[in-house]
Amino acid sequence: MHEEDFIDKNISSKLKEPKEGTRIPKFLSIEEVELIRDSCKTLLEKSLIEFFYSTGCRIGEVFGCNVSDINWQDRSVRVIGKGDKEREVFFTEKCRIWLKKYIDSRKDSCEALFVTERKPIRRMSIARIREVVKGIAKNSEVETNVFPHRWRHTTATTMLENGASLDVIMKTLGHVRPSTTMIYAHSSRERRKQEYNKYMR
């Protein structure tokens, strides 16, 4: 509940967890990303998926975004993360295009970035955002269980495999501890392969 921003404090933080093996975050492949993109039908669906993928935001951060938080020139947006901490995240040109089309198509005056499709128009709930994301994936040929947080893992892994430093990924995702970001270093097979070939002959 704390991870998904339903509660402000992790009430179980002081409990000692049993030691277990490290679990590598599961992410979507490039093919799966493209299949899901292709299954998007509405401007809302296209912009929502691109926003999750290009920003790596938590679902609670996406829920809290307002149109006024966006800097179109820099292709950035201010989000409020865990601990009420504000950070700036960037988004791709493809995301900018779909966001503009989506916002320009709306006739409402709601400040929220993502709103309900039915009247009365209001900020889309976290439950509904999750429902839309899962619905898009269900209509695609992707068999993987797709949910908002898996997009976050996908963003981090994609950035790493394309050469981004762990420090940049850490700041993008809003991690407090470097150890949280370090797990992605173990999950990127392609990056490990590149580094191995670079140093081993």
Cα–Cα nearest to 158, from 17, 38, 29: 29
Q: Which residue is catalytic, options 53, 150, 184, 191?
A: 184
Q: Which residue is catalytic, options 46, 58, 150, 191?
A: 58
113, 67 Cβ separation under 8 angstroms: yes
| Collapsed DSSP state (helix, strand, coil) of residue 179 | helix
Q: Answer yes or no: 152 catalytic.
A: yes
| Collapsed DSSP state (helix, strand, coil) of residue 75 | coil
Q: Answer yes or no: 58 catalytic.
A: yes
Q: Answer yes or no: 186 catalytic.
A: no
Q: Which residue is catalytic, options 2, 37, 82, 171?
A: 82
Cα dihedral sign, 74-163-62-89: negative
Q: Which residue is catalytic, options 46, 123, 150, 175?
A: 175
Q: Answer yes or no: 189 catalytic.
A: no
Q: Which residue is catalytic, options 123, 152, 153, 191?
A: 152
Q: Answer yes or no: 198 catalytic.
A: no
User: Could you tell me the CA-to-CA distances from 125 to 59, 82, 87, 114, 166 in Å, in that order?
Assistant: 10, 18, 22, 9, 32
Q: Which residue is catalytic, options 128, 149, 171, 192?
A: 149
Cα–Cα nearest to 36, from 134, 162, 129: 134
Cα–Cα nearest to 49, from 126, 123, 137, 171: 137
Q: Answer yes or no: 123 catalytic.
A: no
Q: Which residues are catalytic?
A: 58, 82, 149, 152, 175, 184
